[in-house]
Amino acid sequence: MSTRLNSGKKSQPQRSSDDDRRDAAIQELRRGTHLADLLRKQVELIPEPGRRDAAVANVGEISMAMASSLNILQSEMEHYSSSPEVGAVAMAAPAAYSSDGGGTGERNGAVAGRARRVRHRRGRHGAELPIIKEILTEAPENDRFHWRKYGEKTILNAQYPRLYYKCGYSDDHKCPAKKYVQQQSNSGPPLFMVTLTNEHTCETLFRDEPSSSSSSASQVLDFAKASLSPPVMAAVPGLKKEEEDDRSTSLSMHGYSYDEYLSSSLPTMSPDGDQVNFSPGPGW
DNA sequence: GGCATTTGACCGAT
DNA sequence: ATCGGTCAAATGCC
């Protein structure tokens, strides 16, 4: 997962698996750019001017995001192919934080006095989580599930921290669904890469319990709760609460249904090409 | 007071 | 040694 770009030890000019992965990513981005171009041509055929313009604008954003990602990757490749050592130094720049804890602010005294904990199972456990979808979107919070934030991490060479969410019913219903949100760009409307892992078992639970329409189900459907994940806004430094609310409002004013939310994003990726079963359930 | 968020510590993988 | 992912105490908010 990690590219280890600033490890400093990596001065061998030989190709690594990281290089291969970067190549693959560049290939995919080029393909995506091409597809976005095709999509733009199709979208331009929409007869209604309003819808057409909006769609063209969206496709334009997608193309821009692809292009900037492509640029970043390509400039990295050039760095390493020409001068690995220089590249390693150069890439250290964004890592303004220490890796652990992120340095996202201190808490007076209380944290310092926190006792060291002894724990058992930590970190990655066994196999990789099954990635259900990866979505590039302006509205990562707008997927109608109830997420609880459980972590935030500064990612190497990433401009913004990655935010970790688990299903708000992970405890109640042992729902394993998780979501990682990482801001991709801040030029224009901020774009977020949302990675969804594991299926929502809470969703099927509610589907099996039609009688639970009033209390618990209504909680799941609590759009205000589910659609607003304020911590996501924390990825946009300087946003105050009121501004966050404004922003949430403006985002929700897109009026997406979940299908629209997904379809308005980049083509989603399912590792094995299986039908992705992440469609809104009856409570959607 | 209860719940959600923050954030440093910790763990396993590399 | 370093990284990404997770835990859980402390804290904030309603």
Average pLDDT per block of 10 residues along chain A, 284 residues long: 33 48 72 79 79 77 72 57 36 33 35 41 48 74 79 88 87 81 75 83 53 36 35 38 38 40 44 37 34
CA of A152 and C1' of C3: distance in angstroms?
14
How far, in Å, CA of A169 to CA of A260, rounded?
24
Give the 3-state secondary structure of residue A81: helix
Are A43 and A52 spatial neighbours (Cβ–Cβ below 8 Å)? yes
Q: What is the pTM of this model?
A: 0.49
Q: Which residue is nearest to nucleotide C7 (CA to C1')?
A: A122
Written as one letter, the residue type at A38 is: L
Q: Which residue is nearest to nucleotide C1 (CA to C1')?
A: A7
Which residues have CB under 7 A from strand B? Answer: A 100-107, 111, 114, 116-126, 147-153, 168, 229-231, 234
- In this prediction, residue A129 carries a pLDDT of 61
Which H or E element spans position A192?
Answer: strand A191-197
The bases of strand C with some atom under 7 A from any protein CB are 2-11, 14
- In this prediction, residue A75 carries a pLDDT of 57
For A211, other C-beta atoms within 10 Å of its C-beta total: 6
For residue A246 the two structure tokens come to 């404004």
How far, in Å, CA of A21 to CA of A77, rounded?
11
**Which whole-number Å values give the CA distances from A167 to A50, A70, A93, A174, A268, in the listed order?**
36, 32, 34, 9, 20
Beta bridge partners of A195: A134, A180
Which H or E element spans position A103?
Answer: none
Q: Which residue is nearest to nucleotide B10 (CA to C1')?
A: A122
How far, in Å, CA of A264 to CA of A136, rounded?
9
Are A261 and A223 spatial neighbours (Cβ–Cβ below 8 Å)? no
- In this prediction, residue A212 carries a pLDDT of 39
